[in-house]
């Protein structure tokens, strides 16, 4: 008999934390898994975990997904009916210098999760892909029907591989899988290596903000509450047999790109301080613009993004001030 609890991998991470918290608020039982690595400050991960541990129905397992035996043991013990797989080694730039970390977490770890789902009766696997799979594409907005054969970073390549491997498992073993191409998620409890967090910290501390391509970059900034709502709508909505496999992929984005210079200006206003800007050329593995076509997600779930960049950034700044006692 499948367990009624939902496995959320990466539960101490940014998106995983928010998804786990929302599931718990709905009265669901959640098993959170994380390896608590030091890619960024583990104190922030532990603080998120402290919030989750106060919720009824939450249990935590510190496991590295590349540890095959531990993952197998967890799945055999629980036989999860639903798995939300958000754990990954993140970051485009980090992948240039640390390739093996991405292979271990995003490829080996992903296959271990799929094997757990396959052998232990999982009814639906929802997993994180990334907008980075669109790579060198120039057609905007990015549609899930676009070709994604030109990744320009190893991180992007591992996320594309996740989609392909998930589809093969879905086809071979009738495992329902849903991949989510997240577009630049930001908000409270966010990741310190991402733009909004980095910009805010720099403005507060009076250190330079590094703006690549001289700030002429546009990103489809997606507020965490919107992204979380999309995940929750899909958890119990397993895909049907499209193209011979119960597999779907969706864009999860705000459907509106914002210029980085505008994001900085909004943060300056929210913080009441001017930014020191360091204008730099493009760097390897980056793209000029991301823009999500979310029509399929809207059609299938009724989801529409609701948070403007101004409201989202105000909320992030309020959290940042509170968390860091500024």
Residues 129 and 190 in one domain: no
Q: In this structure, is residue 173 part of a structural domain? A: yes
pLDDT at 165 over 80: yes
Please provide the size of the chain in residues. 326
Residues 208 and 141 in one domain: no
Q: In this structure, is residue 261 part of a structural domain? A: yes
Residues 259 and 245 in one domain: no
Left (φ > 0), alpha (ψ -120 to 50) or beta: where does 250 sit?
beta
* Known active-site residue 324: no
Residues 30 and 158 in one domain: yes
pLDDT at 243 over 80: no
Mean pLDDT over each residue of the chain, to the nearest integer: 95
Side-chain-facing half-sphere of 287: CA atoms under 13 Å: 25
Exactly one of 39, 155, 169, 250 is catalytic; name it. Answer: 155
pLDDT at 223 over 80: yes
Q: In this structure, is residue 302 part of a structural domain? A: no
315-321 contact pairs (CB < 8 A, 24+): 315/187, 315/188, 315/223, 316/186, 316/187, 316/188, 316/190, 316/196, 316/197, 316/200, 317/200, 317/267, 317/270, 317/271, 318/188, 319/187, 319/188, 319/189, 320/197, 320/200, 320/204
Q: In this structure, is residue 121 part of a structural domain? A: yes
CATH number for the domain that contains residue 286: 3.90.25.10
pLDDT, position 305: 94
pLDDT, position 314: 97
pLDDT, position 287: 83
pLDDT, position 253: 97
Provide DSSP, 132-176.
Answer: GGGTT--SSSB-TTS-----SSHHHHHHHHHHHHHHHHHHHH---
Residues 132 and 209 in one domain: no
Q: In this structure, is residue 168 part of a structural domain? A: yes
pLDDT in tens, 172-183: 999 999 999 999
Counting the structural domains of the chain, the total is 2
Range of the domain at 74: 3-184+223-252
Average pLDDT over residues 82-99: 89
Provide DSSP, 35-60.
Answer: ---SSS-HHHHHHHHHHHHTSTTEEE
Lowest pLDDT segment from 77-81, 93-97, 160-164? 93-97
Count the neighbouring beta carbons within 10 Å of the beta carbon of residue 265: 13
Residues 52 and 164 in one domain: yes
Residues 31 and 101 in one domain: yes
Q: In this structure, is residue 113 part of a structural domain? A: yes
């Amino acid at each position: 008999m499948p367990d009624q609890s939902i496995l959320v991998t990466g539960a101490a991470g940014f998106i995983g934390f928010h998804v786990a918290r929302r599931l718990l608020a709905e009265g669901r039982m959640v098993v959170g898994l994380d390896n608590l690595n030091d890619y960024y400050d583990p104190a922030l991960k532990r603080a998120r975990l402290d919030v989750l541990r106060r919720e009824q129905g939450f249990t935590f397992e510190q496991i590295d997904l590349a540890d095959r035996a531990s993952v197998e043991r967890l799945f055999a013990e629980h036989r999860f009916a639903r798995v939300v797989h958000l754990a990954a080694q993140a970051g485009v730039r980090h992948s240039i210098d640390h390739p093996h970390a991405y292979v271990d977490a995003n490829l080996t770890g992903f296959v271990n999760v799929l094997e757990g789902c396959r052998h232990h009766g999982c009814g639906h696997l929802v997993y994180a892909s990334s907008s980075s799979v669109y790579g060198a594409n120039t057609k905007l907005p990015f549609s899930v029907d676009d070709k994604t054969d030109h990744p320009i970073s190893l991180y992007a390549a591992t996320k594309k591989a996740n989609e392909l491997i998930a589809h093969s498992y879905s086809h071979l073993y009738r495992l329902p899988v849903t991949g989510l191409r997240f577009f630049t998620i930001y908000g409270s409890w966010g990741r310190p290596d991402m733009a909004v967090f980095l910009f805010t910290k720099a403005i507060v501390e009076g250190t330079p903000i590094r703006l690549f391509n001289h700030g002429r970059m546009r990103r489809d900034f997606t507020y965490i509450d919107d992204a979380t709502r999309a995940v929750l709508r899909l958890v119990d909505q397993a895909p049907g047999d499209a193209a011979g496999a119960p597999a779907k992929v969706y864009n999860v984005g705000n459907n509106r790109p914002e210029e980085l210079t505008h994001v900085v200006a909004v943060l300056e206003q929210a913080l009441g301080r001017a930014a020191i800007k360091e204008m730099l050329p493009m760097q390897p593995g980056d793209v000029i613009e991301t823009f999500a076509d979310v029509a399929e997600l809207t059609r299938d779930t009724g989801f529409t993004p609701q948070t403007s960049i101004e409201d989202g950034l105000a909320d992030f700044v309020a959290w940042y001030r509170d968390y860091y006692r500024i």
